[in-house]
Amino acid sequence: MDKQARLRELQHTVATIQRKFGDRAIRPARQVAEARVPVLPTGLAAVDEALGIGGLPKGRVAELVTAGSSGQAALVASLVRQTQQIGEAVVYVDIDQTLDLDLLARRGVDLRRLYILRPRGLAHALEMTGDLLAEGGAALIVFDRLHPLLFEDASLALLDQALRWWTPLVHSAMAVLLLITETICLDWYPQGLGLPYFASVRLSCEQQQWLYRRREIVGLAAEVKVLKNKLASLGQPVRIEIPV
């Protein structure tokens, strides 16, 4: 069989597979490269590597699951700082009005270029976030946070409704919408919360130990796991060390 005949046979095979399994099942490598999802790097090389695509995907919903003091604030601060460094806008939805601005400043976040949205409760936060997404302009929106006091039927229903509304808006805005979920422990997750379905990427962050130097605490070590990733295979858990 000559080269032209082999090429025609391959093209027929590709067309057959695509008809059966969809266009994305088999494509030329050039198309795969061109179709790569743009990302926001987290600023933590190990986490970006574990994500497999170099950061959090733009145009998608992401979730960070934490339990108490776990280093998640440092991870989020790194993401915010990195987003600012590439000239993009960041909005922080501070539901409980507990955002530690001093900590963000110590982590290198430019407070002059950070917009803080402070709603009157969850329902107001959901509405304002939807308006923010519809208007566009922000590359990163951090929704902080969903915690056990909000995990009741009425709140869960509101959140699910909002996620259905937000998902196409996030895609149109090519933004990253990162929701932080605080649980009692990482082995427990609220039943009925639809966020794991809507999120393209889910991470967990768990504190491992304090770091000492000459008997003084100088930082903490935390473990970051990729719980879900629609865009790449699940990477291995990674350790990050965060100075205090």
Fold observed for domain 37-243? Rossmann fold (3.40.50)
Its pTM stands at 0.84
Distance CA 228, CA 201 (A): 5
Q: Which two tokens stand for residue 230?
A: 């629609």
- Tell me what pLDDT residue 13 has: 84
Contact present, 230 and 202 (Cβ < 8 Å): no
- Tell me what pLDDT residue 50 has: 94
- Can you list the residues of the chain whose pLDDT is less than 50? 33-34
Give CATH 3.40.50.300 domain extents, the chain.
37-243
DSSP H helices in the chain: 3-21, 29-34, 45-51, 72-85, 101-106, 122-135, 153-173, 195-198
